Amino acid sequence: MTKKAKFLVSVIAGSILSLGLVVPSASAAPDVLPVYGDSGATVTRLQEALITRGFTLKGGADGVFSAATQSTLKNFQKVVGFKATGRLDEKTAKFLGLIAADQPAKVKVKAATTVAPTTSAPVATPAPVATPAPVAPVAPVAIPAPIEGMLTIDTLPVRGHRSDAVRLVQEKLIANAVEVKGGADGIFGVATTISITNFQNARGLNATGAVDLPTAIALGVLPDLATLGIPQISVFPSQGRCSFVDSWHEERSGGRAHIGVDIIGPKGLALYAVADGTITKMYGADSKLSGNALRLTIADGTYFFYAHLDSFASGVTVGSVVRAGQIIGYMGSSGNAGISHLHFEVHPQGGEAVNPYPVIKAVDACHVTEVLPQP
């Protein structure tokens, strides 16, 4: 995967609970995370989780942690911005929904080597080791079949490819009245890159020249956000005029990676609840990094984090129930901001942050300068 990976996560992140990957009791389930060379039900669950998120796994969910599974897992980690080790660590397992977010995982440890005693003194017989209780079987996860006429996340073409996937993208560009020099020849070269850039400019997308997530959806070679399991919002989080770009995982001070999107605008712009929900946490101006900030949580546990506010709206406090479009604060530069802007994050089902760019791009309203009617 290449630059397009920055837009994924979530598919990557997706809707872990709605996909049925977290089982409340067996939850979380594996007692010990599987490693390369293992086989069994826990490996099958890992493979099914990867396939469900659109990643191609050679051999399918065969229950064997082989080189193919390791390679696909490494690819997934790279896409979501984790360290690409190909090892199922606790962070990756939680992100895939294989263990609950609040449950620690046991890591398989290599058995210690027994050293023979150097004296003839009798050695105490070790106490018998209790046999662990069997793990309850986990219901298999239904794996959706590929949608006819569509690509998958793992098959989005990149420059240099020669394939039917490239040809499909070219055909979609032509169908959208975008000229592709050389026609639909299946070769992703300079001409196709230019055509994609022209399409992105015409649609107001980030002009990367790559078949990224928003571009693939706009072209119709990937399903929409809901089908992909990416959280959707009904209201853009800020009053216009404003601007934003995809800055997912850009470097920040202190070696941090950016896990949100920055909506740039003048101090005092109204900030809206993006969905019906509850204010579950608030931070004051003395918070060095975020400054004035709040967390808006919706029914499924997904929360949206707003940071660097100038101030909160009157009456908004922890426990406040708000409606989509309601003013909850005002844009500012509190905390470690530098300039006036809103830092906005998306955390599906309360888990790891996912790239919010495609989420807010779907409802972009930076051109709307009038304050929304209040509920």
Q: Which residues contact 135 (CB under 8 A, 6 or more apart)?
A: 26, 29, 30, 31, 41, 42
Q: Quick check: do 3-95 and 157-221 share a fold?
A: yes
- What would the DSSP string read from start to end of 209-252? SS--HHHHHHHTSS--HHHHT----SS-SB-SS-B----TT-B-
CB contact at 8 A, 363 and 234: yes
Whether the bond into 241 is cis, omega within 30 of 0:
yes
pLDDT at 109: 45
> Thinking of the domain 3-95, which architecture would CATH place it in?
Orthogonal Bundle (1.10)
Per CATH, the number for 253-361 is 2.70.70.10
pLDDT at 193: 95
Q: Give the torsion through C-alpha atoms of 346, 348, 350, 351, to 10 deg.
A: -90
pLDDT at 15: 37
Q: Which residues of the chain have pLDDT under 70?
A: 1-31, 52-54, 78-82, 100-149, 153-154, 228-229
Query: Any idea where the domains of the chain sit in the sequence?
Result: 3-95, 157-221, 253-361
Find out if CATH 1.10.101.10 is the number for domain 157-221. Answer: yes
195, with CB counted inside 10 A (0-12, 13-18, 19+), is buried
pLDDT at 246: 82
